[in-house]
Chains A and B, each alone.
Chain A
């Protein structure tokens, strides 16, 4: 047995004006789960603590709560000393018990078709992963989109695809899903990351439904325009100034000793909208011994098409991009756009390794920049944090140049085609970022994704900068100081 401290959310809407936290010291066995800590509190300290559970083994989906902010199953998550336990972000009945009923009722049920046909083994294999959902609603709690717009939510989309794939159901679930906000998902991956059954909701449900919607001609007009643009120009955005690729030689030698060589995949946004940021990044790479090869024939990675379900043209893009790097015998491709990086890593089968710039810089180590007298906050790009699991590396870089104040990692609203397709939603999510940014009291916001940087710029009262731009500023400051100290 061991004693752990647990901070628990308490709220009885009928008697309490507002929620409060209560801290307990609970005696639990080794290997105890959060649920057992709650049992210990309930049995030994306070029988009035309300929480829901049933199977105790991750099968019924009754017990989801947030532990240190992250939705988890109480019966499966290991209890840790100092943890904070809160209810899911759903209407609260009491303490940790939320009202699951209305959401569960809203999920659609199979409507048997007049003709019965058993699903084939292939159909069963396709449906099965969608079927393992235990309706714990962790994903619903985590989804940023449904908090700002009418959206049935991640597991509702999963259920729609499950029904669509079943020959025994007679309804048109694709059109239904479109009506329920299929195009409002920002592809932030939050739902997948919290799903105790590891159901890849955005990739395996939402994007598939969007592809089916595309076949029915239900793709949003703005998304169709993007696809048209990609087909015509190889790029998903219109060029507003001289592009990055037009400004740069094919090979950039580092200033000092060569520590490594990478191929650079720039992506549409940094190429056509934010070329200066990409140029800043090249400076940082050169300064840190990285030789960069930049094939000029590279095109859009296809992410805007995949996320919106427009996949017919995809193979052409993939082939062109892969060939561009393979032709130059490149074994490591560097991305600095979180979306491109995630796409190359997950949607491509590449004969080369793909690394994000934060990974490369922390792998080789950087020359220390001067410290800037700034307080910064960092916005985790969804496709970096959840898409590529990159959390510490940018922080490791940032803290070498400025002080970092954390804020919760929530989608800014720029992904999944939402900025173009559902601008109101993107703006609403952007405004939520503004509030969080304000709370930190920081002087600048740092991020590492062109979509986030571009979008948050419209929803922040302070400047938004890329990680590498801030590093470069640190180097410039260092150089300036060095010059000042040199006797003339």
Chain B
């Protein structure tokens, strides 16, 4: 590789979801910014798929304090207080940015952004654009991005961060053809989104493979609360290939009810007060329990029913759901959906400060790849707000950071190159490894967990990690790198789950009996890095 093959910039943003694009827009004010993503900007990632909405305090009857309290309660008080304060305070400002840039949200007759109720919130504060809210945001952000000078590089997969000593100085990537691309940057922002594709049943897009957690970890950054994986209560169960596809919480927000095969509205046994609009962890466990105890449907789900709602409400508020189910032969205006929990969101991730700095110099992070904002369970609608609030902060901090005189470490590049080259000599089809991993994770690190199951899962992951992946052609090299990341991310989830010897939020340890609730828990974050791992102790104020 000649030195002129290196792309140079002030800020490198990895990932073109809501967080990455927002970061790039902001960073571009401070210097040359590159946005690199393994999908086409605007089309990749989970932001585009987000249906339900964006939480922001917009009315005088609501308040940031209530939003804060709802988020903390929903998060089983594992959230970083500072980050949540920022989230609730700045979510409305970032919503205003989107509106200024042309986002078409649903509005009330008073021309205010309309809001609907979402689980675990005491005020209907979820702003929406039908049930394609994330798509609306992405279209708006891409529009805005076009008017900045950001250089956009689509379909390039970042495989590792480059380091000069302790400092991150850019990243190594593979393009479509499998050619190595080096990017040197003063500041690097990771916004690679989530990673629940490590599970057999997942809502995530194909890019949700956890690359950012793995890349960050390998570079020495610390991650927190990786065990906190949200299982969304309502994923499709049929047909087989559509399993896990999200059935948005907006369905329940609009009045959908859950029933078991006996026709009982079973939520009354789990959370009689909030019923279907309880927090996701509670509803997911309720559904999983109903199914485990034999009250599920023949497709191993429960019913989610909106047939009592006016047809026009379904058509205008849930058009994407209507269309998706119609494609599979179910008219949700006339018959109930069948749903079951699906791996949705990783609450844990890279540890960040309020300025989105990770624990290593030169590296910033925002969006789902970070930990701390959502604690042990994310409220529906808080993730989209997260992408905008912390996307802006990351872009700003990265942009404002000074120029650095950093050098690319040739030895590191050689190591990366040889790892990659080795895939050409491997022997195992990566897609077979993915399948084994996904099954193992679903069975051993799913909704209900025990230490023996987790140990066993970790064993399987370690074994899978020794397999020599084979790239059938240079174009398949990135796929191999991604599988490696999936394996690492999965192992971080399992290690976190073993470290947290309590049930909290989305993380349930069936083998642990505990005498405390979230507010009196003796534990704080679990943490994992290549240098240390453990769980912080001490009751939060």
Contact = CB atoms under 8 A, between A and B. Distances in A.
Contacts of B319: 132
Interface stretch (B28-36, B143-151, B184-192, B452-460): B143-151
Contact of B107 (A31, A60, A61, A118): A118
In which size bucket is the chain B interface?
Answer: 35 or more
Contact of B205 (A33, A54, A135): A54
Contacts of A29: 239-241
Nearest to A198: B323
Interface stretch (A108-116, A445-453, A471-479): A108-116
Nearest to A116: B100
Contact of A47 (B42, B144, B429): B429
B44 A60 contact: yes
A168 B102 contact: yes
Nearest to B328: A31
A64 to B, nearest CB: 11
Interface string A1-37: 0000000000000000000000000001111110010
Given A33-B241, A36-B241, A48 B476 contact: yes
Given A128-B130, A168-B102, A31 B475 contact: no
Contacts of A127: 104
A329 interface: no
Interface in B26-67: 39-40, 42-45, 48-49
B475 A50 contact: yes
B422 interface: no
A204 B504 CA distance: 51
B132 interface: yes
Nearest to A36: B241
A408 interface: no
A111 B147 CA distance: 8
Contact of B39 (A62, A118, A166): A62
B431 interface: yes
B206 A56 contact: yes
A105 B41 CA distance: 11
A325 to B, nearest CB: 33
A53 B206 contact: yes
Contacts of B135: 59, 134
Nearest to A33: B241
B274 to A, nearest CB: 28
A104 B40 contact: yes
A169 interface: yes
A121 B108 contact: yes
B136 interface: yes
A166 B106 CA distance: 14
Nearest to A163: B102
B442 interface: no
A57 B130 contact: no
Contact of A48 (B101, B239, B473): B473
A398 B272 CA distance: 67
Contacts of A50: 475
Contacts of A60: 43-44, 48-49, 205
Nearest to A136: B43
B143 A124 contact: no
Contacts of A146: none
A58 interface: yes
B104 A124 contact: yes
Contacts of A101: 40, 154
A134 B139 CA distance: 9
Contacts of A61: 43
Given A109-B144, A111-B147, A31 B240 contact: yes
Contacts of A59: 48-49, 132, 135, 320
A260 interface: no
* Residue with the greatest number of chain A CB neighbours at <10 A, chosen from B101, B107, B130, B176: B107
Contacts of B448: none
Contacts of B130: 128, 132
B207 interface: yes
B241 A93 contact: no
A266 B472 CA distance: 63
Contacts of A105: 146
B111 interface: yes
Contacts of B48: 54-55, 59-60
Contacts of B242: 31, 33, 57
A390 interface: no
B146 A109 contact: yes
B309 interface: no
Q: Which of B39, B43, B142, B429 has the most CB of A within 10 A?
A: B43
A417 to B, nearest CB: 31
A55 B204 CA distance: 7
B150 to A, nearest CB: 13
A127 B39 CA distance: 27
Contacts of A169: 102
Contacts of B475: 48, 50, 94
Interface in B128-184: 129-130, 132, 135-136, 139-140, 142-144, 146-147, 154, 176
Contacts of B105: 124
B429 A43 contact: yes
Given A59-B135, A120-B111, A168-B102, A32 B241 contact: yes
A368 interface: no
Interface string B391-426: 000000000000000000000000000000000000
B238 interface: yes
B437 to A, nearest CB: 14
A100 B136 contact: no
A54 B43 contact: yes
Contact of B109 (A33, A121, A132): A121
Contacts of B104: 119, 124, 127-128, 131, 166
Contacts of B205: 54-56, 60
Contacts of B40: 52, 62, 100-101, 104
B49 to A, nearest CB: 5
Interface in A50-106: 50, 52-62, 76, 93-94, 100-101, 104-105
Nearest to A53: B206
B245 A56 contact: yes
B406 to A, nearest CB: 31
Contacts of A54: 39, 43-45, 48, 205-207
A55 B323 CA distance: 15
B240 to A, nearest CB: 4
Contacts of B246: 57
A367 B42 CA distance: 58
Given A30-B240, A58-B324, A124 B107 contact: yes
B101 A112 contact: yes
Given A59-B48, A109-B143, 19 more contacts: A28-B241, A47-B476, A54-B44, A55-B206, A57-B49, A57-B246, A58-B327, A60-B44, A60-B205, A76-B327, A105-B146, A109-B147, A111-B147, A118-B107, A118-B112, A124-B105, A128-B104, A135-B43, A166-B104
21 contacts: A36-B241, A43-B431, A47-B476, A48-B473, A48-B475, A54-B45, A57-B245, A57-B324, A59-B49, A59-B135, A59-B320, A60-B43, A60-B49, A62-B40, A104-B40, A118-B107, A118-B111, A119-B111, A121-B111, A128-B129, A169-B102
